[in-house]
Structure 1
Amino acid sequence: MSGGKPVAPEHGKNGMIQEFRDFIAKGNVMDMAVGIIIGAAFTAIVASLVGDIINPIIALFTGGVDFSGWFYALDGNEYASIAVAEEAGAPIFAIGRFVMAIINFLIIAFVVFMLVKMVNRIKDAAAEPEEAVEAAPKGPSEVDLLVEIRDSLKARG
């Protein structure tokens, strides 16, 4: 301890507000917020891709079967649709919804993989010129040149 009083952390409303401002102003918090917002929008796009494009293609190959309607009622009764079973309050295994969730996950994972791969490629392309400049043979340093000049002046004199 250097003889001075220890500084107590600020308490009260103003200290808390300043601490909150500092927290929010950090770049990584803002990056995370942007990522969450884009992720929510991306989820809607993927849901549309699966529901409006992939499901009809799968239904074409499976003879018109729609996965999202696959379910099993645990009460033993038969229902016309999953909506009717839910409305009746029946406990159900929504197998089709689970299959669709897996398909959604695989699509999202693949797209994120492709995005990461593209970003890494861009980073690598940007890093190559820097590495080429660093790898280029450099001439003698300023100090080396000054030493060489000094030595040559001494040899003349």
Structure 2
Amino acid sequence: MLKEFKAFALKGNMIDLAVGIIIGGAFGKIVTSLVNDIIMPLVGMLVGNMDFTNLFVVLSEGNFATLEEAQAAGALTLNYGLFINNIVDFLIIAFSIFLVIKKLNSLKKKEEEATPPANTKTCPYCFEEINKDATRCPRCTSELSI
């Protein structure tokens, strides 16, 4: 069982997946910083100097000017501003992944188009793939027309 696990874990696809997850986590941090530190302050400025991180509703008693004050006091809050930040964060990550996948698919199509045509044909009797210059099928030994 240990040998099977080792063979599974060390396959090329598994290593690629692990690297992808690590890079994805780092990319997520960059996008989160982009949203929180650059995009949302600009959006907040455009909609009247609004700080989305301080959009919240206190579900318990008390009035608080900022989310930090409410959390420090132990008040129960509904943080819809942070939820908006997370939605924008998700949309940017999803769009970025879409662009990467789109580019990879276009490169894959170009690679498929660049491959030369196959040097084979199908035997009309047994449907085996054979060399296009063959005059007799190696599988069923039928004579083929040229």
TM range, smaller chain: 0.7 to 0.9
CA distance in 2, matches of 1:32, 1:128: 27
Task: Output the aligned Cα RMSD.
Answer: 2.1
**Long gaps (5+) in structure 1:** 1-15, 145-157
AA aligned opposite 2:43: I
The aligned residue for residue 89 of structure 1 is: 74
The alignment's TM-score, normalised by the length of structure 2, stands at 0.77
CA distance in 1, matches of 2:117, 2:2: 46
Q: How does 1:1-157 map to 2 (within 5 A)?
A: 16-130=1-115, 133-134=116-117, 141-143=133-135
The alignment's TM-score, normalised by the length of structure 1, stands at 0.72
CA distance in 1, matches of 2:75, 2:61: 9
Q: In proportion to residue count, which structure has more strand?
A: 2
Which segment drifts farther, 110-119 or 44-53?
Answer: 44-53
Percent of aligned pairs with the same amino acid:
42
Which segment drifts farther, 111-120 or 23-32?
Answer: 23-32
**Long gaps (5+) in structure 2:** 122-131, 137-146
Displacement of 1:135 after TM fit?
A: 7.9
CA distance in 1, matches of 2:3, 2:111: 38
4+ runs deviating over 6 angstroms? none
Displacement of 1:26 after TM fit?
A: 1.6
Displacement of 1:31 after TM fit?
A: 1.7
Q: Which has the larger radius of gyration?
A: 1
SS in 2 for 1:134: coil
CA distance in 2, matches of 1:129, 1:22: 34
> Quick check: 2:61–2:75 contact (8 Å CA) kept in 1?
no
CA distance in 1, matches of 2:81, 2:33: 16
Displacement of 1:96 after TM fit?
A: 0.5
